[in-house]
Structure 1
Amino acid sequence: MEYVPCMAQPVKTARPQTSTQRLKMRRQLAAAAMELFATRGYAATTVDDIAAAAGVARRTFFRHFRSKEEAIFPDHDDTLVRAEAVLEAAPAHENPIDTVCRGIKEVMKMYAAAPAVSVERYKLTREVPALREREIASVARYERLFTRYLLARFDEDSHNGDEPLLAEVAASAVVTAHNHVLRRWLRRDGQGDVEAELDHAFEIVRHTFATVPALARRGAPQVAAVPAAAPATAPPVVTSAQGDVLVAVARTDAPLSEVMRTIKEALTDRP
Structure 2
Amino acid sequence: MGYVQGMPQAPRTSRTSSAPDAPESAAGTRAAAQRLKMRRELSAAAMELFATKGYEATTVDEIAAAGGVARRTFFRHFRSKEEAIFPDHDDTLVRAEAVLTAAPAHEHPLDTVCRGIKEVMRMYAAAPAVSVARYKLTREVPTLREAEIASVARYERLFTRYLLGHFDEQDHHPGNDDPLLAEVAASAVVTAHNHVLRRWLRAGGQGDVETQLDHAFAIVRRTFGSGIGAGRNTPEATAGHRPGTPVSPAASASVSGEVLVTVARTDAPLEDIMQTIERALAKG
Question: Do the two structures share a fold, i.e. TM-score over 0.5?
Answer: yes
Residue 50 of structure 2 is matched in structure 1 by 37
RMSD (CA atoms): 3.1
Question: What is the TM-score of this pair, normalised by structure 2?
Answer: 0.72
Q: Give the counterpart of 1:176 among 188, 191, 194.
A: 191
Match of 1:58 in 2: 71
Q: Which residue of 2 aligns with 1:122?
A: 135
> How much does 1:167 deviate?
2.5
Deviation at 1:212, TM superposition (A): 1.7
RCO higher in structure (CA 8 A, sep ≥6): 2
- Count of residue pairs brought into register by the alignment: 227
Which residue does 1:143 correspond to in 2?
Answer: 156
Match for 1:114: what amino acid? A
**Structure 1: distance between partners of 2:232 and 2:135:** 38
Give the unaligned 5+ runs of structure 2. 1-26, 240-247, 249-261, 279-284
Task: Decide whether aligned partners of structure 1 residues 70 and 213 sit closer, same or farther in structure 2, where only a CA change above 3 A counts.
Answer: closer
CA–CA distance in structure 1, aligned partners of residues 150 and 142 of structure 2: 12
What are the Cα deviations for residues 45-104 of structure 1, in whole angstroms up to 9, with x where unaligned?
Answer: 000000000010000000000000000000000000000000000000001110000000
Identify the range of structure 1 (100-109 vs 15-24) with the bigger mean alpha-carbon deviation. 15-24
1:191 corresponds to which residue? 206
The TM-score, its normalising length taken from structure 1, stands at: 0.75
Matches within 5 A, 1:149-228: 149-160=162-173, 164-214=179-229
Deviation at 1:193, TM superposition (A): 1.1
Structure 1: runs of 5 or more not aligned: 1-14, 227-235, 237-246, 261-271
Aligned-partner residue type, residue 132 of structure 1: R
Look at both structures and tell me which one has the larger radius of gyration over its CA atoms.
1
Within-5 A mapping of 1:5-154: 18-154=31-167
Question: Cα distance 1:187–1:97, how it changes in 2: closer, same or farther (>3 A)?
Answer: same
C-alpha contact (below 8 Å) 1:83/1:103 kept by paired residues? yes
